A and B are shown apart, each in its own frame.
Chain A
Amino acid sequence: MLHLNRSLDVCNKVLYQQLTKLRFISTTACIFTNGPSTGSKNEQSFNDDDEFRVLDLKRIQQKQPFQRRPMRPKAVVPPPRTQKMAEDQVWSDVWPGPRTFHPAVVPLPVRQGRNRHGPSPDKFGNAELMKIPNFLHLTPPAIKKHCDALKKFCTPWPAGLETDEKCEQHFPIDVITTDYCHSSPTIRDPLARIVTMRFKLGRLPMDRHSRDKFLRLVRDRHDVDTDTVTIVTDRCPLKTQNYQYAHYLLTALFHESWNFEEWEKEKLETDMEYYDWDLNPSKSKVVKIVKAIDPSVDEENLPEEWKSKVDNYREALTQLFNKGENTDTLQNYKDASLKLLF
């Protein structure tokens, strides 16, 4: 009997565990009961009572009252630090380096984002403000502090290089290289080999032909607006080699553009980099019209009156082609045509 009871007990326990897992029965309700008892008391009742326990299949005997799970205590969040900040605090001490935006640290009522139904979201819990880079560590006083700290390592600015123009005059070539510094096992960075060389094309002694050839050779490396040529060399493994290669390129380009090859004589009107009125059919047409209007004129030597009109027209058309169409060039062209034709 005892043995049977024990084996029943074990069976019950296994069944209980399985049923609990499957959530057929509540963990708080008892299955075998003789009276009002809870889980912990159940164990005792198994052992203590001599009577057979009643199998309460429908669980009508006792139902535990519903107990609300105790609320998790709320995290205590201190009020934002900005409320306690002094007005004359040193900001660079609060925000010394680059850092993601933090609403409780930045004492500014900044807003970011879009809200259809009201004002844009404020800084608290605003992911948009965290995404964008900020320059809160680069305030003018912070920069000044940095500079002051670095000053003791600096040498005085060389005399005679006070203005940008003077710098450019004495150092016509800019060379830009980059050194990289990281905490990795190697101090080498492959990007450190790249050398960028910049110079003004106007500083090189060139004529019309060599300038045109130079531009054709460097292609889009020439910036028309600033007249700057930028050569980037990265094909050699070392910085020094790339630096020397850049200088070699400059030399080669310069001398090559001054060379006049035999095949360059084959350049046609369509290959011209600028519009030359005298080489175009426009000239002969205008002369024909002038001749038709005034048959007495000599085509080769136009009289002064016609010459000024034709020159004016030539200038306007050349501008239209070379400078591009805009209100001014078109108006110029219109005026010149009106003078010529009326």
Chain B
Amino acid sequence: MPTLILRPLKKIWALPTQMRLFSSEATAAAVANNVQRKRAVALRTPADPLSHTEKDIGHSYTIPESILSSFFSLGGIPKTYAENIKTFNEAAIMIRPHTIELLNYLRKANYAHPPIRYVLYGKPGCGKTMTITHVLHFAHLSGFIVAHIPWVWNWYRRSRIQAVSSESKPGLVNLPIEAMTWLKYFLSQNEEIIIKSNLRTSKEYVWSPRETTPADSPLIELIQHGIGRVKYACDVVDVLIDELKLNSTNNRCKMMIVIDGFNAFFLPFSNLKKEDKSRVIPDQVTLAQTFFKAVQPDWCNGAVVVTVDQFNTRDEQPQETPLYLLKKRGLEVIDPFIPIEVPYLSTYEFHCLLDYYEDRLWIQRPGAREELEFLSVKNPYELFKLCAPL
């Protein structure tokens, strides 16, 4: 018996020495390679999004720690990117041409006119949500109040969340917890600016015989009422959007509506169930109706940026184009809009991104760029995944 145990042990001991030998050889080769090649250094732009121009395309800029811990404290950035912030020890975003295009539109738009709607579309992994993050940073710095929905489908995907029939709007259903969570998120992003602009309600809102929000009370109180009284959270969101629209029309503030995955509102299905276990269609939810109202061009001093995503379909081979994803009904809600394509990386951007990865030692053995280009089709997310084991 003892021999039986000893034999495999011996073999196990034999293996690491061999491996060590191989790996040391490989490391030596890699080091020699690095010495020959000289690791690339990423191009960086120190400026903030307010001053990003065409010259900065391909450069990376860093979202400062203060913004991350305040504006993005309750999320709002994509999950994989949040992980990367830890990995790279900085929140860097590459400045891309379509983002500059969008920022230029946002800069030159006439804010006395109704808000212009921008629809970002593109293949998965091209960076629609990263563009949104960039734009959010821009909006925050330019003094916009930001009403951001990080991912619309999150409201609809969990079947255990029960949709409650709305009392104020018959036929529609409320998602009180979701609305409360969104109000918290909204407050975390905009508390400062709402207090600073001293925004107040225009009229009295009666929630119940004992609960009212009197006219000319601060908006913060309204929001806190929604957070405290979850039952009325959906109605508070509705009222809040109305009040904000009114306030921005009266030039007391600027508002930007940012919705990621907007076409999820127009799907013919969702996972939600009502009390009687019947399925809910996305636009039966009061929150959806509220944000349909928010994107209408009947107010001023604002902008609307939405993305359409082919993850929000169940089609076998979906397209990424806006009409296909929004369908006629969705297009009618948001037209006339300005479609902005989020394309694959250009060759220049591709090399810039790889330089960044080499700079941050995400790629430890540089080279094989043509292979990477071929394998990733210059899709940034695919490229990131391909570079992980390098």
Chain A residues packing against B (C-beta within 8 Å): 280-282, 285-286, 288-289, 292-293, 313, 317, 320-321, 325, 330, 333-334, 337-338, 340-342
Q: Which of B110, B336, B341 contacts A340 (CB 8 A)?
A: B336
By beta carbon, the residue of chain B nearest A326 is B321
**What does the 1/0 interface line of B23-65 toward A look like (CB < 8 Å)?**
0000000000000000000000000000000000000000000
Prevailing SS type, chain A contact patch:
helix
Q: B266 → chain A, closest Cβ, in Å?
A: 15
Let me know if A288 and B297 touch, CB within 8 A: yes
The interface residues of chain A lying within 8 Å CB-to-CB of B195 are: none
Let me know if A333 and B339 touch, CB within 8 A: yes
Let me know if B321 and A289 touch, CB within 8 A: no
The interface residues of chain B lying within 8 Å CB-to-CB of A338 are: 338
Q: A272 → chain B, closest Cβ, in Å?
A: 11
Let me know if A337 and B336 touch, CB within 8 A: yes
The CA-CA distance from A330 to B320 in the complex, in Å, is 12
The CA-CA distance from A292 to B298 in the complex, in Å, is 8
Let me know if A325 and B324 touch, CB within 8 A: yes
Q: Which of A282, A325, A340 contacts B321 (CB 8 A)?
A: A325
The interface residues of chain A lying within 8 Å CB-to-CB of B110 are: 293, 342
Let me know if A325 and B319 touch, CB within 8 A: yes
Let me know if A330 and B339 touch, CB within 8 A: yes
The CA-CA distance from A282 to B322 in the complex, in Å, is 16
* Chain A CB within 8 A of B108 CB: yes
A/B interface sample: 28 pairs, CB < 8 A:
A281-B332, A282-B332, A285-B336, A286-B336, A292-B113, A292-B114, A292-B298, A292-B300, A293-B113, A313-B336, A320-B323, A321-B328, A325-B319, A325-B321, A325-B324, A330-B321, A334-B338, A334-B339, A337-B337, A337-B338, A337-B339, A338-B338, A340-B336, A341-B113, A341-B336, A342-B108, A342-B109, A342-B116
Q: B384 → chain A, closest Cβ, in Å?
A: 27
The CA-CA distance from A191 to B108 in the complex, in Å, is 71
Q: Which of A289, A321, A330 contacts B336 (CB 8 A)?
A: A289
Chain B residues packing against A (C-beta within 8 Å): 105, 108-110, 113-114, 116, 297-298, 300, 319, 321-324, 328, 332, 335-341
For the complex of A and B, the 10 pairs showing the least CB-CB separation, nearest first, are A325-B321, A293-B113, A292-B114, A337-B336, A337-B338, A341-B116, A325-B323, A334-B339, A289-B297, A281-B332
The CA-CA distance from A286 to B110 in the complex, in Å, is 17
The interface residues of chain B lying within 8 Å CB-to-CB of A282 are: 332, 335-336
Q: A168 → chain B, closest Cβ, in Å?
A: 37
The interface residues of chain B lying within 8 Å CB-to-CB of A293 are: 110, 113-114
Prevailing SS type, chain B contact patch:
mixed
The interface residues of chain B lying within 8 Å CB-to-CB of A313 are: 336
The interface residues of chain A lying within 8 Å CB-to-CB of B338 are: 334, 337-338, 341
Let me know if B339 and A280 touch, CB within 8 A: no
The CA-CA distance from A340 to B208 in the complex, in Å, is 45
The interface residues of chain A lying within 8 Å CB-to-CB of B328 are: 321
Identify the interface centre among A288, A320, A341: most chain B CB within 10 Å of its CB: A341
Let me know if B335 and A285 touch, CB within 8 A: yes
Q: A277 → chain B, closest Cβ, in Å?
A: 10
The CA-CA distance from A141 to B219 in the complex, in Å, is 90
The CA-CA distance from A338 to B101 in the complex, in Å, is 12
Let me know if B113 and A317 touch, CB within 8 A: no
Known: A288-B297, A334-B340. 4 other contacts (CB 8 A): A280-B332, A289-B336, A292-B300, A342-B116
Q: Which of B108, B297, B335, B340 contacts A317 (CB 8 A)?
A: B335
The CA-CA distance from A39 to B358 in the complex, in Å, is 90
The CA-CA distance from A330 to B323 in the complex, in Å, is 9
The CA-CA distance from A285 to B117 in the complex, in Å, is 13
By beta carbon, the residue of chain A nearest B341 is A330
The interface residues of chain A lying within 8 Å CB-to-CB of B335 are: 282, 285, 317
The interface residues of chain B lying within 8 Å CB-to-CB of A337 are: 336-339
The CA-CA distance from A292 to B297 in the complex, in Å, is 9
The CA-CA distance from A330 to B319 in the complex, in Å, is 13
The interface residues of chain B lying within 8 Å CB-to-CB of A285 are: 297, 332, 335-336
The interface residues of chain B lying within 8 Å CB-to-CB of A321 are: 323, 328
Q: B174 → chain A, closest Cβ, in Å?
A: 27
Identify the interface centre among B116, B322, B336, B338: most chain A CB within 10 Å of its CB: B336
The CA-CA distance from A34 to B137 in the complex, in Å, is 115
